[in-house]
Amino acid sequence: MKSGIYAIWNSITNKIYVGQAVNISKRWKNHKIELKLNRHTNKYLQSAYNKDRLFLVFYVLEFCEPTQEILDKREQYHMDLYDSSNREKGYNLCPTAGGSPLGYKHSDETLEKWSKQRKGKIRGPEARAAIKAGWEKRRANGPVSEETKRKLSESHKGKTQSLATKEKRSAAMIGNQNAANYKRSPEHIAALTAGRQKARAKEIYFTMVKISIDVF
């Protein structure tokens, strides 16, 4: 278990999220789970994942002692360095380290915007009942057992795909970078080029430690 400061970097937009963790590996796994389930608490990071998933990169900026004081201090250093709470440059919700909005005062413009967004958005009885039923079902079922996972895996063995399914998957590969016959579109190439140029221009290179790198 290693503690320290990490970053999630969008190589297309050059925006960055800076975070801290007592257990970086566990925190990284939690990020991936929440993003894949489309329920991450950071709506900006979730939006980036939904749009540019293949271009989000995970970095460990540095390892440090697992004390809250040191973690906050080092996280704040990197947040200031990359200006990650600036909506034009990053995904951090608050400008202060620790991931808590306590003590942070939102602008009147932001408060007014939130007020307008909330107006008229009252869930009806049916919507509330459906949400409650979903949570109760999840609690009742509990986590998927290893036996269930094994049965699901075995149920798919030996199955052959229809020609229509193969054609559909082939068409989907156009946007899948991991596919064998993946081809970037001119727009995609232009976006990649622009992202690299922007990164070079701003000189944002993770030279602090760059100990660990991972992708989604």
What is the identity of the amino acid at 190? A
Q: Tens of pLDDT along 77-101? A: 999 999 999 999 999 999 999 765 4
Q: How many domains does the chain have?
A: 1
| pLDDT beyond 80 at 61 | yes
Q: Tell me the CA end-to-end span of the chain in Å, nearest whole number.
A: 21
175: number of Cβ within 10 Å = 13
20: number of Cβ within 10 Å = 26
**Which range marks the domain in which residue 96 is found?**
4-119+205-215
Of 82-86, 120-124, 183-187, which gets the smallest average pLDDT?
120-124
Q: Is residue 21 part of a domain?
A: yes
What pLDDT, on a 0 to 100 scale, did the predictor assign at position 102? 43
Rg of the chain on CA atoms, in Å: 21
Q: Is residue 16 part of a domain?
A: yes
Q: For 1-145, where are the alpha helices, taking DSSP H only?
A: 24-36, 43-52, 68-82, 108-118, 125-141
The Cα–Cα gap between 99 and 91 comes to: 12
Q: Is residue 178 part of a domain?
A: no
Q: Is 75 exposed, middle or buried (0-12, 13-18, 19+ CB in 10 A)?
A: buried
Q: Is residue 159 part of a domain?
A: no
Q: Tens of pLDDT along 103-119? A: 455 566 666 766 666 66
- Residue 198's φ and ψ, nearest 5 degrees, are -65, -40
Q: Is residue 179 part of a domain?
A: no
Nearest of 74, 78, 70 to residue 8 by alpha carbon: 78
Q: Is residue 137 part of a domain?
A: no
Q: Is residue 76 part of a domain?
A: yes
CATH number, domain of 101, equals 3.40.1440.10
Q: Is residue 23 part of a domain?
A: yes
What the block records as the tokens of 59 is: 């970095």
